């Protein structure tokens, strides 16, 4: 091959390689998705109900960055947890900082609490949030890599009444969304003192069964033995059936705290299940932990309640984290919180055919013909909106006929028609869509007239 041909071939190959590299995949990365307009009413409903509950209980909104320093999560959620070990979207910035897309909110909220000196505010400091989280998990039903959480955190109060209030709020939101087939599972994993002796017992127990554990759990036995309890590998699930349970090893203080919480839940008539195998996959928890799990209309009796819980996707969960703020450099601050997974709430609502929020529909349509009329109708549109009247229009459409078709399709009560003549005369035609009657009115009085007719 001649040198010239060789060069041409090389250039062509290079061009092709660039093309391959730049091929555009018309889809988001795996585990992420668009929420299309037809699904928005469900999301809107979830946002309305959650934000209303937060306001009713006195929680104020906080927004935190989507990206935080990586060590915020590795320290607070804990080395040895699935989230930190396998699921974080971490990367180095151009400036060399190691950062992570938030896999959850609690760590970031606690960081903000310390950073902004919120400890001086009246206690408890009640905060809520809503937004996206990122976990590089294996996508499957109800599990995404980008998902959305609503959550509340109350910082600065150790009374178990707050733990109960968190469960009450989560329960209320789920109920108000029309989801009734839910159970609350609660447990206590105690304070650091109880956890220390419990950890020793666990190590002792699992050491004797080490051969039966998965590779990850063999390592966890050294690093973080408590995490073996939330391993979902079949063989580990078998081994942990007879493992010691935290609830049997609580100190007096933690036992009383837990007992009081259960009494509050009884008072609130929230159906709960005490589940001593519940551990949750985050290290910052102390004392109370809980989860909201959907139940099937009929239970598979061959499966234990515990196994059933593990298999299901929780709609939400939370617990107390009395040591987190101090660990991040703040004052000793007891705290408790919960988060709900919005994607799972929406999925459950759809499954149950639950009601969703319907946007209010416009009652007036504004039709116009000609450039001058169009200019005038822009003003009319503004005047009606300011007066609180929802208006639809199709400024881009040509003929009056096609505009009236749109008005018909929208089911409005009144159509205002502004032609060149009306625009010059300072009038407007009001068409009653039900009767088809038309009347010419003074444009100055248009807003009052429309309001009067809508009232009728
Ligand atoms: P979490 O249990 O990891 O807790 O997440 C809370 C909820 O987020 C889950 O119950 C679930 O509904 C939803 N969720 C989690 N991962 C996914 C996923 N991959 N796809 C879809 N939904 C998911 C926390 O995040 C704690 N920060 C809760 C908390 C707040 N504890 C105290 N305060």
Residue nearest to atom 2 of ligand 1 (CA): 317
- CA 342–ligand 1 middle distance (angstroms): 10
| pLDDT higher than 80, residue 445 | yes
Give the mean model confidence (pLDDT) for residues 433-442: 94
> From the CB of 149, is ligand 1 less than 6 Å away?
yes
| pLDDT higher than 90, residue 13 | no
The pLDDT value given to residue 384:
94
Most confidently modeled range among 22-31, 114-123, 353-362:
114-123
Q: Which of 448, 429, 428 is nearest to 437 (CA)?
A: 429
> From the CB of 81, is ligand 1 less than 6 Å away?
no
DSSP string, 1-62: --HHHHHHHHHHHHHHHHHHHTPPPSSPPTT-----GGGHHHHHHHHHHHHHHHHHTT-EE-
| pLDDT higher than 70, residue 290 | yes
Residue nearest to atom 22 of ligand 1 (CA): 341
Q: Select from 113, 149, 278 the residue to mutate for testing ligand 1; criterion: most ligand atoms less than 8 Å from CB.
A: 149
- CA 411–ligand 1 middle distance (angstroms): 42
Q: Which atom of ligand 1 is nearest to the CA of 153?
A: 33
Distant-in-sequence, close-in-space partners of 144: CB < 8 Å, separation ≥ 6: 31, 32, 33, 343
Q: Which atom of ligand 1 is nearest to the CA of 104?
A: 25
Residue nearest to atom 14 of ligand 1 (CA): 341
- CA 282–ligand 1 middle distance (angstroms): 10
Euclidean distance between CA atoms 173 and 294, whole angstroms: 14
Q: Select from 147, 148, 165, 187 the residue to mutate for testing ligand 1; criterion: most ligand atoms less than 8 Å from CB.
A: 147
pTM, full prediction: 0.85
Mean pLDDT of the chain: 91
Residue nearest to atom 9 of ligand 1 (CA): 316
Distant-in-sequence, close-in-space partners of 152: CB < 8 Å, separation ≥ 6: 54, 57, 59, 126, 127, 128, 166, 169, 337, 338
- CA 105–ligand 1 middle distance (angstroms): 9
- CA 221–ligand 1 middle distance (angstroms): 24
Q: Which residue has the tokens 């969703």?
A: 356
Q: Which atom of ligand 1 is nearest to the CA of 291?
A: 10
Euclidean distance between CA atoms 202 and 56, whole angstroms: 42
Beta strands in 175-269 (DSSP E): 182-188
| CA angle in degrees (0–180, nearest 5) for 111-264-121 | 30
| pLDDT higher than 60, residue 224 | yes
| pLDDT higher than 90, residue 17 | no
Beta strands across the sheet bearing 90-92: 67-69, 98-101, 90-92
- CA 292–ligand 1 middle distance (angstroms): 11
- CA 112–ligand 1 middle distance (angstroms): 19
> From the CB of 106, is ligand 1 less than 6 Å away?
yes
- CA 339–ligand 1 middle distance (angstroms): 6
- CA 150–ligand 1 middle distance (angstroms): 9
Q: Greater confidence, 327 or 2?
A: 327
Q: Which atom of ligand 1 is nearest to the CA of 316?
A: 10
Euclidean distance between CA atoms 61 and 51, whole angstroms: 9
Backbone angles phi, psi at 224, to 5 degrees: -155, 75
Helix axes 40-56, 342-352, angle to 10 degrees: 120
Residue nearest to atom 8 of ligand 1 (CA): 341
Q: Greater confidence, 189 or 232?
A: 189
CA dihedral 231, 235, 236, 237 (to 10 degrees): 80
Residue nearest to atom 25 of ligand 1 (CA): 104
Q: Which atom of ligand 1 is nearest to the CA of 149?
A: 8
* Alpha helices per DSSP H over 369-427: 371-386, 400-410, 420-425
Asked if 186 contacts 261 with a C-beta cutoff of 8 angstroms, the reply is yes
- Predicted confidence (pLDDT) per residue in 391-432, tens digit: 998 887 678 888 999 999 999 999 999 999 999 999 999 999
Band of the pLDDT at 3, cuts 50, 70, 90? confident
Q: Which atom of ligand 1 is nearest to the CA of 139?
A: 19
| pLDDT higher than 80, residue 178 | yes
> From the CB of 113, is ligand 1 less than 6 Å away?
no
- Predicted confidence (pLDDT) per residue in 50-108, tens digit: 999 999 999 999 999 999 999 999 999 998 888 999 999 999 999 999 999 999 999 99
């Amino acid at each position: 091959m001649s040198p010239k041909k060789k060069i041409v071939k090389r250039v062509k190959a290079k061009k092709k390689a660039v093309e391959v590299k730049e091929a555009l995949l018309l889809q988001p990365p795996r585990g992420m998705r668009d929420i299309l307009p037809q699904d928005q009413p469900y999301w809107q409903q979830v946002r309305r109900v959650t934000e209303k509950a937060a306001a009713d209980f006195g929680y104020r909104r906080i927004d935190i960055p989507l990206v935080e320093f990586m060590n915020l999560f590795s320290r607070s959620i804990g080395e040895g947890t699935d989230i930190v070990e396998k699921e974080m979207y971490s990367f180095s910035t151009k400036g060399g900082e190691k950062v992570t897309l938030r896999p959850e909110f609690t760590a970031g909220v606690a960081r903000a609490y310390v950073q902004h000196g919120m400890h001086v505010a009246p206690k408890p400091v009640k905060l809520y949030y809503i937004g996206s989280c990122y976990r590089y998990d294996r996508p499957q039903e109800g599990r995404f890599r980008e998902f959305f959480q609503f959550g509340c955190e109350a910082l600065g109060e150790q009374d178990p009444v707050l733990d109960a209030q968190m469960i009450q709020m989560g329960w209320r939101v789920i109920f108000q969304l029309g989801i009734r087939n839910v159970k609350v599972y609660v447990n206590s994993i105690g304070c650091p003192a109880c956890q220390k002796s419990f950890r020793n017992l666990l190590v002792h127990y699992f050491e004797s069964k080490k051969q039966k554990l998965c590779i990850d759990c063999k390592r966890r036995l050294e690093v973080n033995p408590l995490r073996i309890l939330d391993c979902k590998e079949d063989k580990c699930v078998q081994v942990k059936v007879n493992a010691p349970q935290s609830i049997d090893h609580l100190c007096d203080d933690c036992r009383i705290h837990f007992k009081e919480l259960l009494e509050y839940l009884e008072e609130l008539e929230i159906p709960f299940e005490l589940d001593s195998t519940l551990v949750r996959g985050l290290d910052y928890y102390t004392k109370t932990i809980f989860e909201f799990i959907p139940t099937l209309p009929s239970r598979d009796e061959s499966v234990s309640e515990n196994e059933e819980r593990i298999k299901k996707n929780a709609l939400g969960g939370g617990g107390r984290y009395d040591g987190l703020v101090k660990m991040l450099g703040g004052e000793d601050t007891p705290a408790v919180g919960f988060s709900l997974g919005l994607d799972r709430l929406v999925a459950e609502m759809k499954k149950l055919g639950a009601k969703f929020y319907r946007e209010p529909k416009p009652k007036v349509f504004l039709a116009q013909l000609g450039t001058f009329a169009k200019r005038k109708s822009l003003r009319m549109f503004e005047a009606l909106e300011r007066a609180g009247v929802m208006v639809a229009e199709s400024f881009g459409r040509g003929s009056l006929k096609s505009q009236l078709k749109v008005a018909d399709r929208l089911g409005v009560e009144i159509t205002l028609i502004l032609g060149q003549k009306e625009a010059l005369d300072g009038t407007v035609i009001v068409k009653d869509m039900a009767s088809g009657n038309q009347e010419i009115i003074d444009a100055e009085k248009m807003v009052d007239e429309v309001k009067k007719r809508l009232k009728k």
